[in-house]
Amino acid sequence: MARLFRTRSEKKTSLWGRVVKLALTDVRVAVGGMDTDTLETLEERLLGADFGVPATLRLVDKVEELARKGKVRGRDGLRGALQEEMAAILAPASEAFLGAADSGPTVYLICGVNGVGKTTSIAKLAHRLLQEGQSVMVAAADTFRAGAVEQLSVWAERVGADFIGGQKGGDPAAVAFDAIEAAETRETDVVLVDTAGRLHTHKNLMEELQKVDRVVQKKLPGAPHETLIVLDATIGQNARAQVEAFSRFVSLSGIILAKLDSTARGGIVVNLLEEFGLPVKLVGTGEGLEDLEVFDPEAFVEGVFQDS
Ligand SMILES: Nc1nc2c(ncn2[C@@H]2O[C@H](COP(=O)(O)OP(=O)(O)O)[C@@H](O)[C@H]2O)c(=O)[nH]1
Ligand SMILES: [Mg+2]
């Protein structure tokens, strides 16, 4: 699959300047001042910074094993071991990119529960793609919530993207179908499909999402080129339930982690990679149009272990 853009070709993002102080606060505390005496509290501190159980155990086991065998010593040795293992967990995200169609429109399906930041993330992504010279269409397939179609159309106008919307209560799959058809006719490069804020416990809505996916696949072979779940960085362990629930209905290809500016527990990124192997591809760092960054795992690890 072709690539729309990827981390490596980019210069270091400005993400760290802006969110590192906040998003990595607890993480930096968790790994800071580590020595053999404090090794036993490392587990607790990592859990407190939202690393989740599997990643925490992997990190603690690794460092303890090395310490026990006498392979690492002192604060710097332990930190080095921890840093290396954290980088290993995040490694799959370093090859992360946004896929693109070889020809015809590229379609991204954006899903997630209500209020996580889907519509805002779509507006930001549309804005960014437009700045990179792509033509963009947004499709308001969230026909469930009153005001959702309107919200996306306002964003579309602001960023200068084409817009296709349905009626409130209308068939979301039909909106996606129409959008792809229009994009083919107009030779639009990228179609971003917004979907309803589905409480993952709401089975009918999940089945509707599945239908949107099916219709997209049928209308355009190879699509959707990305199925991204938007997660709110502040939700901690709820992320797990949401990823699991959506995975039952659609095949997720990555994560947009919104609201990273609103948490001090950036460890959730490590948690998501270790638990699901799903790369965090983009992070939201604020409510403005420019507040979307490509996730850079190396810069993340650097941010965690910088001079603390
Ligand atoms: N601080 C912050 N707020 C965000 C971010 N992304 C979205 N929001 C806010 O979260 C709220 C819900 O966003 P919305 O896109 O409507 O969520 P949706 O229901 O998933 O479509 C809005 O008030 C957004 O401004 C982010 O990266 N940082
Ligand atoms: Mg929305």
Between the CA of 145 and the centroid of ligand 2 the distance, in Å, is 8
Q: CB of 92 within 8 A of CB of 270?
A: no
Residue of 246, 256, 287, 294 to test ligand 1 pocket, by largest number of atoms within 8 Å of CB? 287
- Whether 90 is covered by a domain: the verdict is no
Q: Is 119 in the pocket of ligand 1 (CB under 6 A)?
A: yes
At CB < 8 A and 24+ separation, what contacts does 7-15 make? 7/94, 7/96, 7/97, 7/294, 7/295, 7/296, 7/297, 8/94, 10/294, 10/296, 12/296, 12/299, 13/293, 13/294, 13/296, 13/299, 14/293, 15/283, 15/285, 15/293, 15/296, 15/299
Q: What is the pLDDT along the chain (308 residues), one digit of tens a residue?
A: 667 664 444 445 555 555 555 677 777 777 776 766 677 788 888 888 889 999 999 999 998 899 888 888 888 888 889 999 999 999 888 776 899 999 999 999 999 998 999 999 999 999 999 999 999 999 999 888 778 889 999 999 999 999 999 777 789 999 999 999 999 999 999 999 999 876 656 678 889 999 999 999 999 999 999 999 999 999 887 888 899 999 999 999 999 999 988 887 888 889 999 998 898 999 999 999 999 988 888 888 888 887 65
Q: CB of 113 within 8 A of CB of 196?
A: no
By residue range, what is the domain housing residue 270? 95-305
- Whether 46 is covered by a domain: the verdict is no
CA–CA gap between residue 101 and residue 2 (Å, rounded) = 6
- Nearest ligand for residue 257 CA: 1
State whether residue 301 is helix, strand or coil. helix
Determine the straight-line distance between the first and last CA of the chain, rounded to whole angstroms: 41
Give the per-residue pLDDT at 201: 64
- Whether 61 is covered by a domain: the verdict is no
Which amino acid is it at 24?
L
Sign, CA torsion 127/129/135/137? negative
- Nearest ligand for residue 140 CA: 2
CATH number of the domain that residue 159 is part of: 3.40.50.300
Q: List beta partners, residue 65.
A: none
Between the CA of 121 and the centroid of ligand 1 the distance, in Å, is 7
Between the CA of 61 and the centroid of ligand 1 the distance, in Å, is 37
- Whether 62 is covered by a domain: the verdict is no
pTM of the model: 0.90
CA–CA gap between residue 186 and residue 132 (Å, rounded) = 18
Between the CA of 159 and the centroid of ligand 1 the distance, in Å, is 17
- Whether 130 is covered by a domain: the verdict is yes
Q: Is 117 in the pocket of ligand 1 (CB under 6 A)?
A: yes
Give the per-residue pLDDT at 7: 41
- Whether 221 is covered by a domain: the verdict is yes
Domain count, the chain: 1
